[in-house]
């Protein structure tokens, strides 16, 4: 069991953060032990064929026999939603002694695998070279496996944080942790995390608690080292919907929602067009078109920009999603 002892100031400084590098690191468990992550099997099947085998060998070796991830890869986020590049740059600055400590901690009962053996070198140079190689492989892995789905993942993460913030507002820390995971227990100012490989108690001492929702975490994941500040990556809600195929667009339903004229406008405006050209294509008057354009723009379904004497209208990203078109994010 790992416990976080939180004082009044720590509870006041309990915050949320989104961490793309946490997601990349925790997703390596899915590659290594797919049987524990049935919900992510569609994602795993879609990315395995696009990954380099040598990258997979090195990256999955970062997952220890107890599924621990080295702490330097899941460091405490310094802002609410940093980019992956910014977080990876911070990992590249990790000192050799921390890299060595965290890799060895992930393998507490045995020798490191051959691809990580340089972590035990007494000199700093081989350790730092290994760190840089890991970062290079993580960059390629992010580009292939995580970045294409990151917008959808982030929506799920933000929805979970909205729910948790409401729980905190309604019932304080007790309600916040009540349904986060069965392994979590809040009692008398201490957050207990059961079924951990570590056995230590961390006194927050004014450092607060940082909560990081994760789509790839199957249970609460605090830092392995007791020297790290209190942080908890936890399974977020809504993961089961993440890899579902979107429903096909129903033109009849869209017309029922918006009315036939506005539905026709929305389908037409995949490209920017001025009012007069829209009216010409639809064989109606410009004044009739203008009224519908104002309503669709006010609803956020259209964007507009001036081009000389004309105002050009085009579907917004929200309009694209409404009619079921794929968006290149």
251-322 CATH: 1.10.10.10
Of the pLDDT bands very low, low, confident and very high (cuts 50, 70, 90), residue 245 is low
Task: Give the global pTM.
Answer: 0.73
Distance CA 168, CA 178 (A): 10
Distance CA 155, CA 81 (A): 12
CATH 1.10.10.10 placement within the chain: 251-322
Distance CA 134, CA 262 (A): 52
Phi, psi of 327 (to 5 degrees): -115, 135
Q: Is the pLDDT of residue 309 over 50?
A: yes
Of the pLDDT bands very low, low, confident and very high (cuts 50, 70, 90), residue 326 is very low
pLDDT in tens, 296-305: 999 999 998 8
**Helices assigned H by DSSP within 112-270:** 124-141, 150-178, 251-258, 260-268
Residue 90 burial (10 A CB sphere; 0-12, 13-18, 19+)? middle
């Amino acid at each position: 069991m790992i416990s976080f002892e939180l004082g009044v100031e720590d509870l006041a400084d309990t915050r949320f953060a989104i961490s793309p590098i946490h997601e990349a690191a925790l997703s390596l468990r899915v590659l290594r032990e797919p049987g524990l992550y049935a919900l992510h099997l569609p994602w795993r099947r879609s990315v395995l064929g696009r990954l380099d085998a040598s990258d997979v060998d090195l990256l999955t070796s970062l997952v220890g026999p107890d599924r621990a991830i080295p702490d330097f890869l899941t460091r405490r986020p310094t802002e609410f939603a940093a980019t992956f590049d910014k977080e990876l740059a911070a990992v590249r600055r990790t000192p050799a002694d921390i890299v060595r400590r965290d890799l060895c901690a992930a393998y507490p009962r045995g020798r490191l695998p051959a691809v990580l053996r340089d972590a035990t070198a007494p000199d700093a140079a081989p350790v730092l070279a290994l760190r840089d190689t890991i970062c290079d492989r993580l960059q390629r892995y992010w580009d292939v496996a995580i970045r294409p789905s990151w917008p959808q993942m982030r929506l799920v993460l933000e929805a979970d944080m909205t729910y948790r913030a409401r729980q905190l507002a309604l019932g304080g820390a007790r309600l916040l942790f009540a349904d986060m995971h069965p392994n979590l227990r809040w009692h008398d100012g201490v957050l207990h995390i059961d079924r951990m490989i570590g056995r230590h108690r961390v006194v927050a001492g004014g450092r607060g608690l940082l909560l990081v929702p994760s789509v790839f975490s199957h249970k609460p994941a605090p830092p392995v080292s007791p020297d790290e500040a209190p942080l908890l990556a936890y399974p977020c809600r809504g993961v089961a919907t993440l890899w579902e195929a979107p429903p096909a667009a129903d033109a009849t339903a869209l017309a029922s929602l918006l009315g036939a004229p506005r539905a026709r406008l929305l389908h037409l405006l995949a490209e920017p067009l001025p009012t007069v050209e829209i009216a010409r294509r639809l064989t109606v008057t410009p004044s009739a078109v203008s009224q519908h354009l104002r309503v669709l723009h006010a609803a956020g379904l259209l964007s507009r920009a001036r081009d000389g004497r004309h105002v050009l209208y085009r579907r917004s990203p929200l309009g694209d999603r409404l009619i079921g078109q794929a968006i290149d994010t």
